[in-house]
Chain A
């Protein structure tokens, strides 16, 4: 009897240890190396990173039109509860004014905060981990030029157990695998740039893919669209599969990303309207690169869609 009890205790300790090990936040770069990462950084190039990453779409203070006021506060609804987008303006107390490049790198590339806690994947580090360190550095240089905004967003409002950040370690263990996007030499530089923008900075798949019950992208349906997590309707399939955009030319995609006009001259709406404000500011070559890559996505048929106003 005593031996059984001992075995149970030993197993429990091993289990807790394993849980602790799995859920341990692992930043991409040690913070004590921060000085080396600070060097360089170009705010002008960082502006392109900012637009390609669509930072403004979530982080802009709601209810006003200046896309460079990044006071946060926007509510993002999800099946797990509501997220409130943080302030990433350079305010020293309420924003990220005290952040070093290493902090932004760890946030974007590994989903870990300067305090060493996990971020929720509502912040799309699941795509951003493919971003080059140089781009992170340029982005930080650009963010530091923006006006500081005071005021913190309210804390996330999530159901148990999602409100315990440590459990995100399990989610990351299952669904988040860091890795570079090695260029494919058999493809054109334009295609490779497009892939980097779509799969990395642009994080297009985060909205344009269905998710499983744990909120992770279903890889076999990547880019095939799915229900709009934030509300009603469906996010479109952007592959050439059934229900997708096979009949769109590369030019059509560039046009959408520039003016928001679809091939039938309907103006894009919903959250993509915000995205177009970002892509409209990109260099034309980047919009063309995005279109080139999107046209090459493997065809996947749309998943079951729901009615536009249905839940």
Chain B
């Protein structure tokens, strides 16, 4: 992207040539000049699209019918391209033509690159960068999957993506293995399509899920899964491009119109991160037991209970629970006391605790090592990363428990049978956060929780509001739900962004 004053008139013809295809590899940055207003709207709307992608990815199987339907309607709403054909005959009044949508797609992608490339030396920003790449990859996956096979081939040609197909002999020799290992192929489909042999590092998604045949370090990918390799290319290029963009950032930093906007954009993916401790010391350690029954989400309640029972938690549990407790306002001193007093009841004596565990508690509070102030885990993180293993109690109970055990647990916690079956139904549909929200509604006796759950600490705060934290409730109600109308001055603009990110 150019920030110097170079002007270039883009005529309509050139534009339609530039945006001839619905799916882009984003090789060329946009060269035209755009208004600050457009800059902001484009960026915010793409961010909104990426957030939708993230949410959909947790609630639905990627590329399932529902997933695609929702993504299509969100793309439509936000005026992003969603069809592979250009069809400009029916532009709704005030809407954008397909070509304009593609332009918006192009430009907004590059704006967010600017916002998310700054990660140097900061794990939190590093996580943001990874988040951005992941959502862009998922968006690309969806769009690529919507292309007809002819368009896909065209896309590969246009972008110079060539892969080696195996010979017919090799294919027939490996037929049984290919059928048994490749997702959704039968004898006939094996014969009909090409298989590409690529280093397994280029098809990690298929390797991870064991949906491909592996031999001697090579993955055998059927043409129908070629998207995997293309995606891998997309991811690698984007990752490299971000690193390059980061180097040119000083130029952007010196632009005082863009800098605050970009920094807002990049921070804005999880809403609140709950690392700011407003309530330090609000609760005493004696209250934790009763709070865990009343206001903790199930995951934390489960961790608390097993900590009390076993006087120990393994690393994954200590991190998930420890950071949550930090988020609800435990001070470092309280946290040390909390963990120590529980661990010494088990096999760990005070001396061993101080040597082996106290460090990690201080680490969580950013007092050791890299001195990063770690943020409590969001639902997304709990659900998607570091699944519990033998002896672990962390993770999301709705995601990581057997339905039968979950049912028993809910019965013990006196959730009414009708509620339990509703919850189990949601779990079956993989709507883990909705299941948790249902659990919230049932245990707090409200019909509609009135918030969209994305964080264990949010659960806690909402619960406290209902259980008598009237003060908090009022403060929150003062914040009006602002719309996204474009604002004039920059100060107002950032405020608007804030409100957008808060209700997201």
A pairs with B = no
> A residues within 8 Å of B by Cβ?
none
> B residues within 8 Å of A by Cβ?
none
